Structure 1
Amino acid sequence: MIDKERLPQVAYQVMNEVHEEEVDLLNRLENELSDEVLDISKVDELLNTLLEHTKEHFANEERLMQEVFFPAMMMHQGEHIRVINEMKMVVNRWELTRDPELIREYFLGTLIEWLMLHINTMDTITAQFITMHKGGH
């Protein structure tokens, strides 16, 4: 479980709220995978929700970056594209194998590590730039 208290905070509050929503979904996924009897339909639903939320999350950040002409937008956006493609690939493999370990390793390991690093680096700098130009909503 990810403790939201340990989630890095950035200068733009809307981004913090979206990160917390993402963590809630990841924690729900972890709970679902911890059940003694795996409910595949619930895992499917959570994975789809997580993928859609992440796409929307990234699209909103990219819109904000465009609005303020953030100089490193292409690099940041490239990372978003890479992660969405990676998520889709893992979900596709899940649909073929129904291997919960695959989901645990990626969504509760690799993705969480990436999210923490991404927030501490790219999102922190992006949020500071957005706040300088828009204020700290």
Structure 2
Amino acid sequence: MSTLAWSQDLVLDQPELDHTHEEFVELLNAFGDTLDRGEDALPAFKALLAHTEDHFAMEERWMAATGFEAENCHSSQHAMVLNVMRETVRYAEDLLDREPLTIVRGELAQWFPGHAEMMDAALVYTMQQRGFDPRTGECREPVKAATSAEGADAEREPAVSACGSTSCGH
């Protein structure tokens, strides 16, 4: 049984991110398969966690390069998901409680499509607007920032804070 099916609905037309997202889905399904077989799912979950850490770090670099505020709801959601995943590992290893592994499987499968559709799509849109090339890290239209020589009154481009959600408080 597949935990989350890869579909065209998850494609954002940003090749590197689409590939990373497809890997996430594959690892989530591999983890789910080990649970379904009654095997020790912790190694598969740790592989998913390591991938997710790298995945989110990549997106964080892209957000920084394209002018997202350091504290934005997209980054906050990454931090929350990683915290839950790390706590799941801690429960399994330190408390010998494997139940959170079963719970987090469903939660990640439910969370991921909305995150990709809203927050990651907003990131891809910003990358396109700025002409950001994730392979080189270069931006065709770099973010304007006031330098210390320009002073506090210098014109500065506002940082991106939105996550793509109309309910976001940022």
Shorter chain as normaliser: what TM range?
0.7 to 0.9
The alignment of Structure 1 onto Structure 2 pairs a total of residues equal to 131
Rounded to whole Å, the distance in 2 between the matches of 1:52 and 1:27 is 15
Q: Runs of at least 4 residues of structure 1 off by over 3 A?
A: none
- State the identity as a percent: 27
- Are the equivalent residues in 2 in contact too, given 1:68–1:130 (CA < 8 A)? yes
Larger radius of gyration: 2
Larger RCO (CA under 8 A, 6+ residues apart): 1
Taking only aligned residues, the RMSD between alpha carbons, in angstroms, comes to 2.1
Match of 1:106 among 104, 107, 116: 104
Rounded to whole Å, the distance in 1 between the matches of 2:23 and 2:14 is 15
TM-score normalized with structure 2 length? 0.69
**Which structure shows the bigger proportion of residues in helix conformation?**
1
Rounded to whole Å, the distance in 1 between the matches of 2:70 and 2:112 is 18
| 1:16-61 alpha-carbon deviations (Å, 9 max, x no partner) | 11111000001101111111xx332xx2221111111101000000
Rounded to whole Å, the distance in 1 between the matches of 2:71 and 2:15 is 19
| Structure 2 gap ranges (5+) | 136-170
Secondary structure of the corresponding residue to residue 97 of structure 1: coil
- Are the equivalent residues in 2 in contact too, given 1:12–1:128 (CA < 8 A)? no
Rounded to whole Å, the distance in 1 between the matches of 2:134 and 2:20 is 14
Q: Mean alpha-carbon deviation: is it higher for 71-80 or for 126-135?
A: 71-80
By how many angstroms is 1:7 displaced? 4.6
TM-score normalized with structure 1 length? 0.84
